[in-house]
Structure 1
Amino acid sequence: MTKSSSATKKLLKVAGILVLVLVAAGVVANAMGWMDSGENEISVETANAELRTITQIVSASGRIQPETEVIIRPDVSGEIIELNVREGDFIREGDLLLRIKPDIYQARIDELRASLLSQQARMEEARSNMLQSQSEFQKSDQLYQQNLISELEYSQVKNTYEARQANLKAAEYQIQSAQAQLRRAEEELQQTVIRAPRDGTISRLSVEEGERVLGNAQTAGTEMMRIARLNQMEVEVDVNENDIVNVSTDDLVDIEVDAYPNRIFEGRVTEIANSADVSSSGSAEQITNYKVKIRITTPHNLDSGPEDFIVQVTDQETPTRAESPNFKPGMSGTVDIRTNTVVDVVSVPIQAVTVRDFAADAAESDSLESDSTGADTNAGEAMRTNRSSKEEDFRKVVFINNNGVAKRTEVETGISDNTHIQILSGVRDGDEIVTGNYRILSRELQKDDKIKVSNNIQTSES
């Protein structure tokens, strides 16, 4: 009985030791990658490369303004005694806008007319004196030819005649000067009546009747009002220097206006600035933008004038007035400029394209070759140091699922939209591309790694 119990205890001890050995061996094998035939699969997401139409977009924001807006400033100073318009009124070219008190300009005209008459009288006096001197000179000339008067007397008469001729010329020039001053005064009097230079709507009115305004002669002139064609509006946006090279005149644009959410309006690029607007110059936050003007081609502001004034800038069917947007200067908006479009090209999701340093791969490969040939450790370390000191060689790549193996493929890319990027070479339509997740794609996944697809492969019609 005692022998049997002792034998049982020994068997239990041996069994326990075997279990511990097996557990330890399992842990070591798992750590060394000997389990599951050495396969460490990485869970990834995939999608198929497909043929798509890609439109490259440049986004920007800005404000709505009239394409044409005329600022009305007075040429003369004075008090506004008559104001015939209100903000929002539609006016025709030549309509009376306002009058400036003309009293001082009328008084100036009366003064200059009197001065002109005085100058004309002086000219007649100068003419009479000149004619008298001319007669005396002719007589003196005859007497001098007959040696009946001295040369001194002849010279005095001649000089008097020439002086009175000059006085007559001066009087004529003074009359011309007085006439010019009178014309200028009459022009200033006419400028006290200000009329509309073109058809449009009073988009801003800055003065009231009874106010005094300054003319352009003293300063830049008081801004009294603005006239704009509100059914021809545009959006002026700031485009960054990195994107401006892709924008061209006549590019089509999708416009979103904050005042009209969930609506897209059409536009077209009409003007691109050549000079830059630089903010925070000389600092790390320096921003360089270029002004781009975009005409809104969707019919708008159809109530901004009479029917015969409405000018459509698009061939599309005119909407009803209830559907027509009513844009006002200063409204905020964002635009998506369609700079380039390619049709039926191989494309993949943008996140599928990543970069890898091929120089580092070459250094690692050389290191492995050195270790496998049993070369001196110091020599191998020197080679790795030399490789690491070389310039980096980053290239764009995608990973293709090749029967559970991540095949790294170098690619050449084209344009992109918000979700997909064009592949010019390296990928074919239908290839299963690794698309995620971001951490795995950007850092962990390497060529020939074992992968496991954790999503349903998406297939799309081209």
Structure 2
Amino acid sequence: MWKWLLGLFVIAVAACGVGGYFLGTSPNVKEWAKQFNPDEKIIEVKLEPVMRGNLSKVVSAPGRVEPKTKVEISAQVAARITALPFREGEPVKKGDVLVRLDAREMAAQLESAQAGLKSEQARLEGAKSAFALSESDLGRQRDLFGSKDVSQSTLDQAVSTWERSQSELRMAEQAIEIARANIIRAEQDLEYATIMSPLDGTIIRLAAEVGELVLVGTLNNPASVILEVADLDNMLVRARVDESNIAPVKDGQPAKVFINAFPDETFIGVVENVKLQRQTEQDGTQYFESEVLVENPGKELLRDGMTANVDIEVDVMHEVLKIPSQAVVDRRVDDLPKTVVEGPNAAFVDKSKPFARVVYVVQNGKALAKPVSVGSSDLTHTVVIGGLSEGDKIITGPFKVLVDLKDDKKVAEEGTLKKKDTAKDSAKEVEAVEAK
């Protein structure tokens, strides 16, 4: 029995050896096995050439959309609102009546002022007559005093009467001026009862209702705001530029404006004013406000208070070598091969620092790190100062591949592996047809 079992074991071992030999030498099996060997796996990458072009250095800042011209409408007299002809959101023209106030009290004050003027005019006439009489009497008394027909006391009394009548005349004349000023003030108050639009625009806020009592502002208490009118055709963004970035920002610089409410649109703008006074947010962040005027050729409904972000172009570098920013990665100097650290780009490796900036190129089907020196960046591209030449093809993605990519990894340009597989399948189909 044991001899029979031993024979079966020998036959099984021989069969496994022969099968293993044929499997190991089979090309298809070798290709299949490579899929499970991380060192043999080919990674698809995106390749792009190093190109020359312009690169804009930008300063980014958050902000808020506001009309360039916005006016708060308040009353200059205390009265109740009797009419609000326009509703919020409606357009208005300069000179349109926006608010009517109860004008009965102002009209009564005007009538009272006019009556007061008439009364003062009558008093002035009496003062003029009294002054003329006293002046005539004074002249007569002086003549009599000269002929010694009256005493000194009589002359003194005439002088005193003349002076008193002259003073009363002056007071009457001043009272006339006061009465006229009262009329002017009453007329103005009556005009203030009708509030007109100071500009062409839109009612963006209605803060009061018909029947409400509006108050006049004082030094310590602001006036009641009835409504707001704004020119929505000319909008700007009040951008909050961080203190560390404000130095290169100047009036007249171009900008791109991104408004959260319009994610698919980019608005063109220009810096119109950079404030000189530093401000501080609630979290302690210090910033300078910059006004960026927004072009709106499509007449989108930009609303007061919309959140936005601006990219202010503070500098433009012309015809520089540039590459996608994500292609530049940091690698530990100790992890880089000696051939890279001491190779042609050794000048761009600072051995005193733990990391070096590198860009990956493809050489003989494998990734190769090339140390580089880089300069300014915008949101998408970075200037290459040294280490690459125009036309060099570099690996620019995918980002998840670049994060862990190492030297000597087998790589292929996106789409080429699929083409090879398609070519192999076509060849197999041809062989199968020929075999038949």
Q: 1:334 aligns with which of 304, 309, 328?
A: 309
In the TM superposition, residue 135 of structure 1 has moved relative to its aligned partner by 1.3
- State the SS of the aligned residue for 2:263: strand
Distance 1:227 1:405 in 2: 63
* Pairing 1:342-357 to 2, within 5 Å after superposition: 342-348=317-323, 350=325, 352=328
Alignment correspondent of 1:228:
230
Alpha carbons 1:272, 1:292 under 8 Å: kept: yes
Distance 1:242 1:356 in 2: 30
Distance 1:355 1:126 in 2: 103
In the TM superposition, residue 354 of structure 1 has moved relative to its aligned partner by 6.2
Alignment correspondent of 2:254:
252
* Pairing 1:13-32 to 2, within 5 Å after superposition: none
In the TM superposition, residue 300 of structure 1 has moved relative to its aligned partner by 4.0
Distance 1:201 1:216 in 2: 24
Distance 2:396 2:288 in 1: 35
Per-residue CA deviation, residues 329-351 of structure 1 (Å, 9 max, x unaligned), is: 22222233333222321235556
Going from structure 1 to structure 2, the CA distance change for 1:159 and 1:353 (only over 3 Å counts) comes to: farther
Whether 2:290 is the aligned partner of 1:292: answer: yes
Distance 1:427 1:193 in 2: 73
Alignment correspondent of 2:26:
none
Alpha carbons 2:358, 2:369 under 8 Å: kept: no
Per-residue CA deviation, residues 248-274 of structure 1 (Å, 9 max, x unaligned), is: 323332223222232222222222222
Distance 2:127 2:206 in 1: 55
In the TM superposition, residue 198 of structure 1 has moved relative to its aligned partner by 1.6
Whether 2:381 is the aligned partner of 1:420: answer: yes
- State the SS of the aligned residue for 1:54: strand
Q: Which runs of 5+ in 1 are unaligned?
A: 1-44, 302-324, 358-391, 446-450
Alignment correspondent of 2:189:
188
- State the SS of the aligned residue for 2:75: coil
Distance 1:356 1:137 in 2: 114
**Worse-matched range after superposition: 421-430 or 190-199:** 421-430
Distance 1:261 1:234 in 2: 18
Per-residue CA deviation, residues 270-309 of structure 1 (Å, 9 max, x unaligned), is: 22222122135xxxx63111222222213244xxxxxxxx
In the TM superposition, residue 434 of structure 1 has moved relative to its aligned partner by 9.8
In the TM superposition, residue 247 of structure 1 has moved relative to its aligned partner by 2.5
Letter in 2 for 1:67: K
* Pairing 1:450-461 to 2, within 5 Å after superposition: 452=408, 455=411
Alignment correspondent of 2:115:
114
Going from structure 1 to structure 2, the CA distance change for 1:339 and 1:248 (only over 3 Å counts) comes to: same
TM-score (norm 2): 0.68
* Pairing 1:174-185 to 2, within 5 Å after superposition: 174-185=175-186
Distance 1:135 1:336 in 2: 87
In the TM superposition, residue 431 of structure 1 has moved relative to its aligned partner by 6.7
Letter in 1 for 2:272: T
Alpha carbons 1:246, 1:339 under 8 Å: kept: yes
Distance 1:454 1:246 in 2: 45
Per-residue CA deviation, residues 57-110 of structure 1 (Å, 9 max, x unaligned), is: 322222222111111111011111122111122221111222111111122222
Going from structure 1 to structure 2, the CA distance change for 1:453 and 1:54 (only over 3 Å counts) comes to: farther
Whether 2:105 is the aligned partner of 1:144: answer: no
Alpha carbons 2:356, 2:371 under 8 Å: kept: no
In the TM superposition, residue 231 of structure 1 has moved relative to its aligned partner by 1.9
Alpha carbons 1:75, 1:217 under 8 Å: kept: no
In the TM superposition, residue 49 of structure 1 has moved relative to its aligned partner by 5.1
- State the SS of the aligned residue for 1:260: coil
Alignment correspondent of 1:73:
74
Letter in 1 for 2:279: D
Alignment correspondent of 2:426:
none
TM-score (norm 1): 0.64
Alpha carbons 2:57, 2:315 under 8 Å: kept: yes
Distance 2:356 2:193 in 1: 70
Alignment correspondent of 1:89:
90
Going from structure 1 to structure 2, the CA distance change for 1:199 and 1:418 (only over 3 Å counts) comes to: closer
**Worse-matched range after superposition: 212-221 or 162-171:** 212-221
In the TM superposition, residue 112 of structure 1 has moved relative to its aligned partner by 2.0
Percent of pairs identical after alignment? 29
Alpha carbons 1:65, 1:235 under 8 Å: kept: yes
Distance 2:259 2:133 in 1: 85
Going from structure 1 to structure 2, the CA distance change for 1:206 and 1:338 (only over 3 Å counts) comes to: same
* Pairing 1:267-346 to 2, within 5 Å after superposition: 267-279=269-281, 286-301=284-299, 325-346=300-321
Whether 2:244 is the aligned partner of 1:242: answer: yes
Going from structure 1 to structure 2, the CA distance change for 1:289 and 1:396 (only over 3 Å counts) comes to: farther
Alpha carbons 1:76, 1:216 under 8 Å: kept: no
Alignment correspondent of 2:173:
172
Per-residue CA deviation, residues 114-168 of structure 1 (Å, 9 max, x unaligned), is: 2222222222222121111111111111112222222222122112212211111
Q: Which runs of 5+ in 2 are unaligned?
A: 1-44, 334-351, 415-436
Alignment correspondent of 2:420:
none
Alignment correspondent of 2:125:
124
Going from structure 1 to structure 2, the CA distance change for 1:356 and 1:96 (only over 3 Å counts) comes to: same
In the TM superposition, residue 192 of structure 1 has moved relative to its aligned partner by 0.4
Alpha carbons 1:48, 1:457 under 8 Å: kept: no
Going from structure 1 to structure 2, the CA distance change for 1:142 and 1:275 (only over 3 Å counts) comes to: same
Going from structure 1 to structure 2, the CA distance change for 1:348 and 1:173 (only over 3 Å counts) comes to: same
